[in-house]
Chain A
Amino acid sequence: MQEQLNQKLSQFIDDELDSHQALSLLQSVQNDELLKEKLRRYQIVSQVLKSSEYSPLGTDFSDKIHQQIRQEPTYFMPQKKKPAIRWQKAALAIAASIAIAAVWVSSKVDHQKFGSVETVAQSTQPTGAANNARFKEYLQAHDNALYVNSMQTAQPYARVVGYQQE
C-alpha cells in the first residue's frame, strides 16, 4: 500500500497520472501530513535532479494561500440554483489543487479540471429576447424598488436566468 502510494507520488511529480488519479492523490495528500511532507521531499529531489537548482518554500505555504482565499471579499454575483455546500466543496477542492500545484514547481496546469466554469457561463445565457422584455415589464409593474437597479432599468432587456420546470 505504502509502496503504491510512493509510486503514485513519483508518477504525479513526473506528470504520468491522468487527471482523475491526480485529483484522488491530491485529496489523500490533503488529509495526510506525512504524505504531504513526502510529496514535498520528492518535489525537491525532482527539482534538484532536473535543474540543479532549488527554490525553498515554507511548509505552511499552502496554508497561507488557504488563509488568503478565506479573507477574500464576497462578490454578489448572480447565483445559480444549486446548493451552496456543493460550491464550497468544489471551491475547496480547486483551492487545494492550486495550492499544491504551486508547490510543485515543475507542474503543468490541467485545464480540464476547470470545465465547470464554462457550464455556468452557458447556463446563464439569457432566454429569448421577447421573453426577457416581458419579464422586465412584469418586474417594473411589480415593485418600485426595481427602478434603482441599472441592470433592469437601463438595459433593453433584463438578463435573467431561465430554466424549465422538471
Chain B
Amino acid sequence: MRGWLVISRNKRVKVLTAILFWAMCQIAIAESSPPAAEWLGKMNQAMKTLNFGGTVIFMKNGQLDTMKYQHSVENGLEQERLASLNSPMREVIRKSSEVTCVFKETKQKVVNHHPLDSSFIINLPQNTAVLQQNYQLTLLGQESIAMLPTQIIGIDPKDALRYPRKIWIDTQHFLPLKVEVYNLDGSVLEQVVFTDLSTDAITEAKASALDENKFHVKHIHATQAEPFANATFTLKNWPAGFEPVFFIRNSIQQSEKAVDHLLISDGFSTVSVYLEAKESDGLKGLHSLGSVNSVSKVLGNAQFTVLGEVPAKTVEIIADGITLR
C-alpha cells in the first residue's frame, strides 16, 4: 500500500486506465463468443450436414481402439463408417439408425435396426436448449486438438444421477474433435479424440465388397417399435429430463426368448430397461463396465435389468420404481 502511494499521480492514472481497458476487453470477448448452448446447437447441425472424416481414438473400458472414421450425407441420409486399424479387424457402418458390424476374421455380421439414430462420436439431443434444465453449460477456454483450434464446453449435471462431460468443438466447422466423460469423482471414464480431421469432399462411405453368403448374420431390433403404453410394466422413478425414446418387443437373446426393451434418454445419457421371463440363473445385482452400470431384479415371474451410461445410483433408482401393470 505504501508503495502504491509512493507512485506518482500520473503513473497511478496510467495503471488504472490500463486495468479498465483490460476489463473492458474481457467483457467484449465474453459478449462476442456465443453461449455454450449455441456452440452445441451449431455442433449438432454440423454433424448432420457436413461430410468429414479422420482418425479417431476411442478409449473406453480401459481399451484403446484406433479407427478410420468417415461421415457423409446424401439426400439427407446420414452415413457413418468406422474401420478398425488394428485387430480385431472390423467395419461398422451406420445408415441413419441401422448399424451393420462386420467381423472379417470370424465371418460374423451383426445388423442392428436400432430405432435411435445416434452417432458413434457423441450422443446429443435434437433440442440443445432443453439440456440446460438438467446440465450447467459453460465455456471453458480454448485448446488445439489435431492441430485445430477448439472451444471447450463444460457440461456439468445439476444432480449426481448422470456423468459430467467436456466437448472440444472445432471453431471453424463446429465439429466435435474430443469428448471426455467423467466419473462423479472427476476421473476420466471415456475419451473420444480425433487425431486428424478432413472436411474435404468425401464420397459416400461404402462397405468393403463382401460375399454375404459366407457370413453368419445376426439381426437385432428387427421388429417395429410400439407405444410404451403396450408395455406390461411402468416406471415410477424417472430422473428429471429423461424421456422414453422407444419401446420394442424383441428377441435379442441367443435363446430367442422374448425380451421387452424400453429406452429412455435425457439427450446425453441413455438407459435401457429390459424385461424377460424369470430364470434361475439370470443376471443378479449390480454390474459395471466402464461408464455402463446395470442392476437386475426379480418382480413376480419377471426379471428386469436396468442398464445405461449413468452412475450405479441412477440405475438402482429406476429399478426400484418398476411396477407391473
Contacts and interface: CB of A to CB of B under 8 A. Distances in A.
A11 B315 CA distance: 53
B309 A165 contact: no
Contacts of A160: 287-289
Contacts of A140: 110, 112, 220, 252
Given A76-B59, A84-B185, A165-B295, A139 B289 contact: yes
Contacts of A141: 112, 114, 220-221, 250, 252, 261, 272, 274
B101 A162 contact: no
Given A140-B112, A160-B287, A148 B185 contact: no
A143 B289 contact: no
Interface string A81-118: 10111000000000000000000000000000000000
Contact of A147 (B59, B61, B92): B92
A65 to B, nearest CB: 23
A34 to B, nearest CB: 36
Contacts of B289: 78, 135, 139, 152, 158-161
Interface string A111-139: 00000000000000001101101110111
A149 B309 CA distance: 14
Interface residues of A, number: 42
A145 B61 contact: no
A80 to B, nearest CB: 9
Interface in A64-86: 74-79, 81, 83-85
A149 B191 CA distance: 12
Interface in B268-325: 270, 272, 274, 281-290, 292, 294-295, 305, 307-309, 312, 316
A161 B64 CA distance: 19
B282 to A, nearest CB: 8
Contacts of B58: 148-149
Nearest to B186: A84
Given A151-B63, A165-B295, A145 B118 contact: yes
B10 interface: no
A163 B94 CA distance: 34
Interface stretch (B82-90, B137-145, B232-240): B82-90
Interface in A5-56: none
Contacts of B261: 141
Nearest to A155: B88
Contacts of A153: 88, 90, 101, 103
A164 B286 contact: yes
A4 interface: no
Contact of B188 (A74, A78, A147): A74
Contacts of B106: 154
Contacts of B48: none
Interface of A: 74-79, 81, 83-85, 127-128, 130-131, 133-135, 137-145, 147-154, 158-165
13 contacts: A76-B188, A83-B185, A138-B307, A140-B110, A141-B250, A142-B292, A144-B116, A147-B101, A147-B112, A150-B88, A159-B289, A160-B287, A165-B285
CB-based closest 6 A-B pairs: A154-B88, A164-B285, A84-B185, A77-B62, A142-B272, A151-B63
